[in-house]
Amino acid sequence: MFVPRKYSWLIVAAVLFTLVAAPFCMASAHGKQKPKKTGILLVAFGSSVKSAQVSFENIDRQVKKAFPGIPVRWAYTSRIIRKKLARQGRQLDSVAVALAKMMDEGFTHVAIQSLHTIRGEEYDDLVQTARAFTAMAEGFTKVFIGDPLLSREKDLQAAAEAVLANIPKARKANEAVVLMGHGTPHPSNAFYAAFMYQLQQKDPNIFVGTVEGWPGIDEVVAWLKSKHIKKAYLMPFMSVAGDHAKNDMAGDEPDSWKSIITKAGVKCVPLLKGTAEYDNMIAIWLAHLKVALRHL
Catalytic (active site) residue 182: yes
Question: At what angle are helices 153-166 and 190-202 packed, to 10 degrees?
Answer: 60
Pairing of strands 206-210, 176-181: parallel
Contact (Cβ atoms closer than 8 angstroms) between residue 191 and residue 150 = yes
Q: Which 3-state string (H, E, C) describes the chain? A: CCCCHHHHHHHHHHHHHHHHHHHHHHHHHHHHHCCCCEEEEEEECCCCCHHHHHHHHHHHHHHHHHCCCCCEEEEECCHHHHHHHHHCCCCCCCHHHHHHHHHHCCCCEEEEEECCCCCCHHHHHHHHHHHHHHHCCCCCCEEEEECCCCCCHHHHHHHHHHHHHHCCCCCCCCCEEEEEECCCCCHHHHHHHHHHHHHHHHCCCEEEEECCCCCCHHHHHHHHHHCCCCEEEEEECCCCCCHHHHHHHCCCCCCCHHHHHHHCCCEEEECCCCHHHCHHHHHHHHHHHHHHHHCC
Residue 67 buriedness (CB in 10 A; 0-12 / 13-18 / 19+): middle
Residue in 30, 109, 116, 182 annotated catalytic: 182
d(CA 114, CA 123): 7
Which residues participate in catalysis according to the annotation?
182
